[in-house]
Protein backbone atom coordinates (compact mmCIF):
# COMPACT_ATOMS: atom_id res chain seq x y z
CA UNK A 1 0.00 0.00 0.00
CA UNK A 2 3.03 2.25 0.38
CA UNK A 3 3.21 2.81 -3.39
CA UNK A 4 -0.46 3.74 -3.60
CA UNK A 5 -0.12 6.26 -0.79
CA UNK A 6 3.08 7.71 -2.28
CA UNK A 7 1.39 8.23 -5.63
CA UNK A 8 -1.57 10.08 -4.13
CA UNK A 9 -4.34 7.50 -4.20
CA UNK A 10 -7.32 8.21 -1.95
CA UNK A 11 -8.02 6.22 1.20
CA UNK A 12 -11.13 4.80 -0.46
CA UNK A 13 -9.12 3.61 -3.46
CA UNK A 14 -6.47 2.02 -1.24
CA UNK A 15 -9.13 0.26 0.82
CA UNK A 16 -10.75 -1.09 -2.36
CA UNK A 17 -7.45 -2.47 -3.65
CA UNK A 18 -6.73 -4.15 -0.32
CA UNK A 19 -10.17 -5.78 -0.02
CA UNK A 20 -10.09 -6.95 -3.65
CA UNK A 21 -6.63 -8.51 -3.28
CA UNK A 22 -7.68 -10.35 -0.15
CA UNK A 23 -10.82 -11.72 -1.82
CA UNK A 24 -8.80 -12.92 -4.81
CA UNK A 25 -6.08 -14.54 -2.72
CA UNK A 26 -3.50 -12.00 -3.88
CA UNK A 27 -2.79 -10.50 -0.47
CA UNK A 28 0.53 -11.64 0.93
CA UNK A 29 0.15 -12.76 4.55
CA UNK A 30 2.89 -13.41 7.04
CA UNK A 31 3.70 -17.11 7.42
CA UNK A 32 1.57 -17.87 4.37
CA UNK A 33 3.54 -19.34 1.48
CA UNK A 34 1.88 -18.81 -1.91
CA UNK A 35 1.63 -21.78 -4.26
CA UNK A 36 3.57 -21.33 -7.50
CA UNK A 37 3.89 -23.68 -10.46
CA UNK A 38 7.64 -23.00 -10.50
CA UNK A 39 10.00 -21.44 -7.99
CA UNK A 40 13.22 -19.71 -9.07
CA UNK A 41 16.07 -18.72 -6.80
CA UNK A 42 18.33 -15.72 -7.34
CA UNK A 43 21.46 -14.90 -5.42
CA UNK A 44 21.37 -11.10 -5.13
CA UNK A 45 25.13 -11.14 -4.74
CA UNK A 46 25.46 -12.17 -8.37
CA UNK A 47 23.71 -9.05 -9.69
CA UNK A 48 26.14 -6.54 -11.18
CA UNK A 49 25.74 -3.13 -12.85
CA UNK A 50 25.27 -3.41 -16.59
CA UNK A 51 24.46 -1.51 -19.77
CA UNK A 52 23.27 -2.63 -23.22
CA UNK A 53 24.85 -1.96 -26.58
CA UNK A 54 26.23 -0.95 -28.97
CA UNK A 55 23.34 -1.66 -31.35
CA UNK A 56 20.68 -3.88 -29.74
CA UNK A 57 18.82 -3.58 -26.41
CA UNK A 58 19.32 -7.29 -25.65
CA UNK A 59 23.12 -7.08 -25.81
CA UNK A 60 23.80 -6.77 -22.09
CA UNK A 61 27.29 -5.81 -20.95
CA UNK A 62 28.59 -5.86 -17.42
CA UNK A 63 29.79 -2.39 -16.49
CA UNK A 64 33.27 -3.69 -15.68
CA UNK A 65 33.50 -5.15 -19.18
CA UNK A 66 32.26 -2.17 -21.23
CA UNK A 67 35.76 -1.04 -22.23
CA UNK A 68 36.80 -4.45 -23.48
CA UNK A 69 33.45 -4.99 -25.18
CA UNK A 70 33.67 -1.64 -26.97
CA UNK A 71 37.16 -2.41 -28.25
CA UNK A 72 35.93 -5.78 -29.52
CA UNK A 73 32.94 -4.18 -31.22
CA UNK A 74 35.18 -1.57 -32.78
CA UNK A 75 37.08 -4.32 -34.58
CA UNK A 76 34.41 -6.98 -35.13
CA UNK A 77 31.32 -4.85 -35.73
CA UNK A 78 32.59 -1.50 -36.99
CA UNK A 79 35.77 -2.80 -38.70
CA UNK A 80 38.09 -0.28 -37.11
CA UNK A 81 41.49 -0.61 -35.47
CA UNK A 82 42.18 0.20 -31.82
CA UNK A 83 44.93 1.80 -29.80
CA UNK A 84 45.85 4.54 -32.26
CA UNK A 85 45.01 7.64 -30.25
CA UNK A 86 48.19 9.43 -29.23
CA UNK A 87 46.63 11.47 -26.41
CA UNK A 88 45.51 9.88 -23.11
CA UNK A 89 41.74 9.85 -22.56
CA UNK A 90 41.88 11.99 -19.42
CA UNK A 91 43.81 14.74 -21.20
CA UNK A 92 42.29 14.99 -24.65
CA UNK A 93 39.40 17.32 -24.01
CA UNK A 94 40.91 19.86 -21.64
CA UNK A 95 43.98 20.95 -23.58
CA UNK A 96 43.65 24.18 -25.48
CA UNK A 97 44.96 24.06 -29.01
CA UNK A 98 47.07 26.68 -30.81
CA UNK A 99 44.09 28.32 -32.49
CA UNK A 100 45.26 31.68 -33.75
CA UNK A 101 43.05 34.76 -33.92
CA UNK A 102 43.32 38.01 -35.76
CA UNK A 103 43.43 40.30 -32.71
CA UNK A 104 41.11 42.95 -31.32
CA UNK A 105 42.08 45.60 -33.84
CA UNK A 106 41.42 43.56 -36.95
CA UNK A 107 38.96 44.78 -39.53
CA UNK A 108 37.57 43.62 -42.83
CA UNK A 109 37.63 39.88 -43.31
CA UNK A 110 38.83 39.14 -39.77
CA UNK A 111 36.21 36.45 -39.21
CA UNK A 112 37.21 34.57 -42.35
CA UNK A 113 40.87 35.03 -41.45
CA UNK A 114 40.21 33.47 -38.04
CA UNK A 115 38.49 30.48 -39.60
CA UNK A 116 41.27 29.97 -42.17
CA UNK A 117 43.95 30.18 -39.49
CA UNK A 118 42.03 27.81 -37.24
CA UNK A 119 41.59 25.30 -40.05
CA UNK A 120 45.28 25.46 -40.94
CA UNK A 121 46.29 24.93 -37.32
CA UNK A 122 44.01 21.91 -37.01
CA UNK A 123 45.33 20.37 -40.22
CA UNK A 124 48.92 20.78 -39.05
CA UNK A 125 48.11 19.35 -35.63
CA UNK A 126 46.50 16.10 -36.79
CA UNK A 127 48.18 15.36 -40.12
CA UNK A 128 50.19 12.46 -38.72
CA UNK A 129 47.50 10.94 -36.52
CA UNK A 130 44.98 8.22 -37.22
CA UNK A 131 41.57 7.46 -35.75
CA UNK A 132 41.16 10.93 -34.30
CA UNK A 133 39.96 14.36 -35.34
CA UNK A 134 40.01 17.85 -33.88
CA UNK A 135 36.95 20.00 -33.29
CA UNK A 136 37.27 23.69 -32.46
CA UNK A 137 34.60 24.75 -29.98
CA UNK A 138 34.70 28.49 -29.37
CA UNK A 139 38.21 29.12 -27.94
CA UNK A 140 39.03 25.50 -27.16
CA UNK A 141 40.12 22.46 -29.08
CA UNK A 142 38.90 18.97 -28.30
CA UNK A 143 40.35 15.83 -29.77
CA UNK A 144 37.78 13.19 -30.66
CA UNK A 145 38.47 9.51 -31.15
CA UNK A 146 36.60 6.22 -31.32
CA UNK A 147 34.31 5.61 -28.35
CA UNK A 148 33.86 9.22 -27.32
CA UNK A 149 30.39 9.93 -25.91
CA UNK A 150 28.88 12.80 -27.90
CA UNK A 151 25.30 12.38 -26.61
CA UNK A 152 24.28 11.65 -23.02
CA UNK A 153 20.55 11.83 -22.37
CA UNK A 154 18.31 11.05 -19.44
CA UNK A 155 15.09 10.34 -21.29
CA UNK A 156 11.47 9.75 -20.36
CA UNK A 157 11.59 6.02 -21.12
CA UNK A 158 10.95 3.01 -18.88
CA UNK A 159 13.25 3.18 -15.86
CA UNK A 160 12.99 6.95 -15.49
CA UNK A 161 9.50 6.50 -14.06
CA UNK A 162 11.26 5.12 -10.99
CA UNK A 163 12.12 8.01 -8.64
CA UNK A 164 14.97 6.04 -7.04
CA UNK A 165 17.09 6.06 -10.21
CA UNK A 166 16.24 9.68 -11.00
CA UNK A 167 17.17 10.78 -7.49
CA UNK A 168 20.34 8.70 -7.78
CA UNK A 169 21.23 10.57 -10.97
CA UNK A 170 20.67 13.92 -9.25
CA UNK A 171 22.74 12.92 -6.23
CA UNK A 172 25.53 11.67 -8.48
CA UNK A 173 25.51 15.03 -10.28
CA UNK A 174 25.68 16.84 -6.93
CA UNK A 175 28.63 14.78 -5.74
CA UNK A 176 30.38 15.20 -9.08
CA UNK A 177 30.07 18.99 -9.00
CA UNK A 178 31.23 19.08 -5.38
CA UNK A 179 34.23 16.94 -6.37
CA UNK A 180 35.19 19.52 -9.02
CA UNK A 181 34.18 17.47 -12.07
CA UNK A 182 32.89 18.79 -15.38
CA UNK A 183 31.38 17.16 -18.44
CA UNK A 184 33.69 17.34 -21.50
CA UNK A 185 32.58 20.06 -23.93
CA UNK A 186 31.95 17.62 -26.79
CA UNK A 187 29.18 15.78 -24.88
CA UNK A 188 25.66 16.92 -25.74
CA UNK A 189 23.65 16.44 -22.56
CA UNK A 190 19.92 16.66 -21.87
CA UNK A 191 17.23 15.74 -19.38
CA UNK A 192 13.70 14.98 -20.58
CA UNK A 193 11.59 13.52 -17.77
CA UNK A 194 8.27 11.86 -18.46
CA UNK A 195 6.51 14.10 -15.97
CA UNK A 196 6.76 17.52 -14.36
CA UNK A 197 6.64 15.67 -11.05
CA UNK A 198 10.30 14.84 -11.61
CA UNK A 199 11.12 18.52 -11.88
CA UNK A 200 9.15 19.11 -8.70
CA UNK A 201 11.07 16.61 -6.60
CA UNK A 202 14.43 17.59 -8.13
CA UNK A 203 13.70 21.16 -7.09
CA UNK A 204 12.62 20.12 -3.60
CA UNK A 205 15.77 18.05 -3.19
CA UNK A 206 17.98 20.90 -4.39
CA UNK A 207 19.38 18.74 -7.19
CA UNK A 208 18.31 20.74 -10.23
CA UNK A 209 21.20 23.19 -9.96
CA UNK A 210 23.75 20.38 -9.99
CA UNK A 211 22.21 18.68 -13.00
CA UNK A 212 22.17 22.06 -14.74
CA UNK A 213 25.85 22.62 -13.97
CA UNK A 214 26.68 19.37 -15.74
CA UNK A 215 24.53 20.34 -18.72
CA UNK A 216 21.59 18.08 -17.88
CA UNK A 217 19.10 20.89 -18.36
CA UNK A 218 15.44 20.01 -18.64
CA UNK A 219 14.61 20.29 -22.35
CA UNK A 220 11.02 19.06 -22.25
CA UNK A 221 8.75 16.27 -21.05
CA UNK A 222 8.34 13.12 -23.08
CA UNK A 223 10.20 11.27 -25.80
CA UNK A 224 13.25 13.07 -27.16
CA UNK A 225 16.62 11.40 -27.72
CA UNK A 226 15.11 7.93 -27.37
CA UNK A 227 13.18 8.40 -30.64
CA UNK A 228 15.90 10.25 -32.50
CA UNK A 229 14.94 13.77 -31.41
CA UNK A 230 18.33 14.60 -29.96
CA UNK A 231 18.78 17.32 -32.55
CA UNK A 232 21.98 17.72 -34.58
CA UNK A 233 25.41 17.55 -33.05
CA UNK A 234 27.30 20.85 -32.93
CA UNK A 235 28.64 21.47 -36.43
CA UNK A 236 32.29 21.24 -35.37
CA UNK A 237 31.68 17.88 -33.68
CA UNK A 238 29.76 16.50 -36.66
CA UNK A 239 32.52 17.55 -39.06
CA UNK A 240 35.17 15.96 -36.87
CA UNK A 241 33.23 12.69 -36.73
CA UNK A 242 32.89 12.70 -40.51
CA UNK A 243 36.48 13.68 -41.25
CA UNK A 244 37.90 11.05 -38.91
CA UNK A 245 35.28 8.43 -39.82
CA UNK A 246 34.88 7.98 -36.08
CA UNK A 247 32.72 5.53 -34.18
CA UNK A 248 31.36 7.83 -31.49
CA UNK A 249 28.77 6.87 -28.90
CA UNK A 250 25.57 7.91 -27.21
CA UNK A 251 24.40 6.84 -23.76
CA UNK A 252 20.74 7.16 -22.89
CA UNK A 253 18.26 5.83 -20.36
CA UNK A 254 15.93 4.57 -23.07
CA UNK A 255 14.99 1.13 -24.35
CA UNK A 256 16.00 1.21 -28.02
CA UNK A 257 19.49 1.73 -29.40
CA UNK A 258 19.46 0.51 -32.99
CA UNK A 259 22.14 2.07 -35.18
CA UNK A 260 20.89 5.26 -36.82
CA UNK A 261 17.94 5.65 -34.41
CA UNK A 262 19.57 8.12 -32.03
CA UNK A 263 21.61 10.28 -34.42
CA UNK A 264 22.97 9.70 -37.94
CA UNK A 265 26.51 10.56 -36.80
CA UNK A 266 26.46 8.15 -33.86
CA UNK A 267 27.09 4.48 -34.64
CA UNK A 268 27.48 3.05 -31.11
CA UNK A 269 24.55 3.53 -28.75
CA UNK A 270 24.26 2.28 -25.19
CA UNK A 271 21.31 1.97 -22.82
CA UNK A 272 22.00 2.70 -19.16
CA UNK A 273 20.32 3.79 -15.95
CA UNK A 274 20.02 7.56 -15.36
CA UNK A 275 22.95 7.70 -12.88
CA UNK A 276 25.16 5.76 -15.31
CA UNK A 277 24.20 8.22 -18.06
CA UNK A 278 25.64 10.97 -15.86
CA UNK A 279 28.71 8.85 -15.11
CA UNK A 280 29.48 8.19 -18.78
CA UNK A 281 28.85 11.86 -19.62
CA UNK A 282 31.53 12.78 -17.08
CA UNK A 283 33.93 10.15 -18.43
CA UNK A 284 33.24 11.27 -22.00
CA UNK A 285 34.04 7.84 -23.42
CA UNK A 286 32.93 4.22 -23.60
CA UNK A 287 36.58 3.22 -23.68
CA UNK A 288 36.75 3.14 -19.89
CA UNK A 289 36.18 0.64 -17.09
CA UNK A 290 34.23 2.78 -14.64
CA UNK A 291 34.40 0.11 -11.96
CA UNK A 292 38.19 0.16 -11.73
CA UNK A 293 39.49 3.21 -13.60
CA UNK A 294 39.16 6.91 -12.89
CA UNK A 295 36.31 8.36 -14.88
CA UNK A 296 37.66 11.90 -14.88
CA UNK A 297 40.15 14.27 -13.33
CA UNK A 298 38.76 17.17 -11.30
CA UNK A 299 39.71 20.83 -11.44
CA UNK A 300 42.71 20.10 -9.19
CA UNK A 301 44.05 17.39 -11.45
CA UNK A 302 42.98 14.64 -9.05
CA UNK A 303 41.58 11.40 -10.47
CA UNK A 304 38.01 10.72 -9.35
CA UNK A 305 36.52 7.23 -9.43
CA UNK A 306 32.86 6.37 -9.81
CA UNK A 307 32.83 4.80 -6.36
CA UNK A 308 33.88 8.19 -4.93
CA UNK A 309 30.71 9.91 -6.11
CA UNK A 310 28.13 7.11 -6.29
CA UNK A 311 25.27 7.78 -3.81
CA UNK A 312 24.41 5.16 -1.22
CA UNK A 313 21.02 3.47 -1.07
CA UNK A 314 20.39 5.21 2.23
CA UNK A 315 21.03 8.63 0.67
CA UNK A 316 18.58 7.83 -2.12
CA UNK A 317 15.92 6.57 0.29
CA UNK A 318 16.31 9.56 2.62
CA UNK A 319 16.00 12.01 -0.28
CA UNK A 320 12.89 10.28 -1.60
CA UNK A 321 11.29 10.32 1.86
CA UNK A 322 12.03 14.03 2.26
CA UNK A 323 11.04 15.24 -1.20
CA UNK A 324 8.38 13.01 -2.73
CA UNK A 325 4.93 13.50 -1.25
CA UNK A 326 1.61 11.85 -2.17
CA UNK A 327 0.48 14.93 -4.01
CA UNK A 328 3.54 16.27 -5.78
CA UNK A 329 2.98 19.54 -7.58
CA UNK A 330 2.07 19.14 -11.22
CA UNK A 331 2.27 22.85 -11.89
CA UNK A 332 3.69 23.72 -15.27
CA UNK A 333 7.40 24.52 -15.16
CA UNK A 334 7.27 27.11 -17.89
CA UNK A 335 10.65 28.02 -19.25
CA UNK A 336 12.39 24.96 -17.82
CA UNK A 337 14.27 24.36 -21.07
CA UNK A 338 17.31 26.40 -20.15
CA UNK A 339 19.92 27.42 -22.69
CA UNK A 340 23.31 25.83 -22.47
CA UNK A 341 26.63 26.78 -23.97
CA UNK A 342 25.63 25.53 -27.43
CA UNK A 343 22.74 28.00 -27.40
CA UNK A 344 20.02 25.32 -27.57
CA UNK A 345 17.95 23.62 -24.87
CA UNK A 346 20.49 20.78 -24.82
CA UNK A 347 24.16 20.95 -25.59
| pLDDT tens track for 262-284 | 999 999 999 999 999 999 999 99
pLDDT for 247 equals 95
Query: In terms of C-beta density within 10 A (0-12 exposed, 13-18 middle, 19 or more buried), how is residue 291 classed?
Result: middle
- Give tens-digit pLDDT for 301-327: 999 999 999 999 999 999 999 988 766
3 state SS of 340: coil
Query: In terms of C-beta density within 10 A (0-12 exposed, 13-18 middle, 19 or more buried), how is residue 144 classed?
Result: buried
Question: What are φ and ψ of residue 21, in 5° steps?
Answer: -60, -40
- Give tens-digit pLDDT for 100-132: 333 333 344 555 555 555 554 444 444 444 578
Contact assessment for residue 247 and residue 147, using Cβ atoms and an 8 Å cutoff: yes
CA-atom Rg of the chain in angstroms: 23
- Give tens-digit pLDDT for 53-68: 999 999 999 999 999 9
* Class for the domain spanning 49-84+146-323: alpha beta
Beta-carbon neighbour count of residue 215 at 10 Å? Answer: 25
Where are the domains positioned within the chain? 1-41, 49-84+146-323
- CA gap 100, 285 in Å, rounded: 28
Amino acid sequence: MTYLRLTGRSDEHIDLVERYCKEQGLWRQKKAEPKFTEVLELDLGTIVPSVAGPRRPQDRLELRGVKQAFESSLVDVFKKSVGQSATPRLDRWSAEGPVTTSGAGSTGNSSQHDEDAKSASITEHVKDEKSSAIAALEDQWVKLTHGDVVIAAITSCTNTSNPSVMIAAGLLAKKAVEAGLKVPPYVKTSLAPGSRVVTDYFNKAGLTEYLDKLGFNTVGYGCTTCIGNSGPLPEAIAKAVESGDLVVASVLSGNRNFEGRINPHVKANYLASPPLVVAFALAGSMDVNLMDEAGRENDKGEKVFLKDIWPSQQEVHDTIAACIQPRCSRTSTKGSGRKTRSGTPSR
